[in-house]
Amino acid sequence: MTIRDTEAVLRVDEWITGAPHEAQWDSRIIEYVSRNPLGCLVAEEDGKCVDSR
């Protein structure tokens, strides 16, 4: 997962939970991925994060 995937990850979260994400999650995801780039995995197709739709 890279910082570029943040929006796609938040879309998946909203799709699963049915609730919009809190504004703080953008910065939290970016901070975590910056500290530990191998700590999160996403499914990719053609180099882009794949959401479940």
Band (6; pLDDT cuts 50, 70, 90): confident
pLDDT of residue 51 exceeding 80 = no
With beta carbons less than 8 A apart as the criterion, state whether 12 and 51 touch.
Answer: yes
Q: Indicate if the alpha-carbon torsion angle 25, 44, 42, 38 is positive or negative.
A: negative
9-35 per-position pLDDT tens digit: 888 888 888 988 887 888 888 898 899
pLDDT of residue 53 exceeding 70 = no
pLDDT of residue 52 exceeding 80 = no
Closest by Cα among 12, 11, 3 to 40: 3
Residue 50 CA to residue 42 CA, distance in Å, equals 8
